[in-house]
Amino acid sequence: MPISSIARLSLIVCILTLAACGFQLRGVADLSFQNLYIQGPQLSISRALNKLLVVNGVKIVNDKESADLLLEFMNETVEKRILSLSGAGRVTEYDLFYRVHFRLRDPSNPLWGEVQTIEERRDFSYDDTQLLAKQSEEVRLNDDMRADAVREILRRLIVQKPAKRSAPSEQTPAASE
């Protein structure tokens, strides 16, 4: 069954529109290191970050000597604040905060960089009559903040340019005379 010229023209217009809008798959991050050593406490985002790093071609190593970059997690905090109250004194809105503190270091540098903080914030309305739904919404918002924090850490790792280390075969032994 031949395609009518109107259908063919519609198909071409759709393809050109999709190509012209700039749509592009996310792809992998352009990281300037291949090996990362992570130290510090195990955080709720550790597994997701490790998975994202592996997908982007970074190997998580177990010793500092083989790492191209060192990442130290300091801590993470989750906070829930009352944002507003009704006239009867009941909570109607909450603010949720998620913070993670970390620092980076090039293995060739003995000094750590300054502590970096990623802070995510969400607010949501609250209603006692919808307790289960609101608890589920709070869990979903907390998970969303953690996912955003993982992506932000990856963005900050993209800009890191650790010093290039020479491979062991490239090092020349000192001549002893």
- How many structural domains does the chain have? 1
CA dihedral of residues 46, 75, 112, 150 (deg, nearest 10)? 40
CA dist., res. 121 & res. 66, Å (int) = 36
The pLDDT value given to residue 77: 97
- Does residue 106 fall inside a structural domain? yes
Q: Render pLDDT for 150-164 as a digit per residue (tens, 0 to 9).
A: 999 999 999 988 776
What rounded mean pLDDT belongs to the chain? 86
pTM of the model: 0.75
Percent of the chain at pLDDT > 90 equals 64
For residues 93-104, give the mean pLDDT.
Answer: 97
CATH of residue 130's domain is: 3.30.160.150
Question: Would you say residue 69 has pLDDT above 50?
Answer: yes
Q: Where in the sequence is the domain holding 123, given as residue range(s)?
A: 27-160
Residue 17 lies in a domain: no
Is residue 124 situated within a structural domain? yes
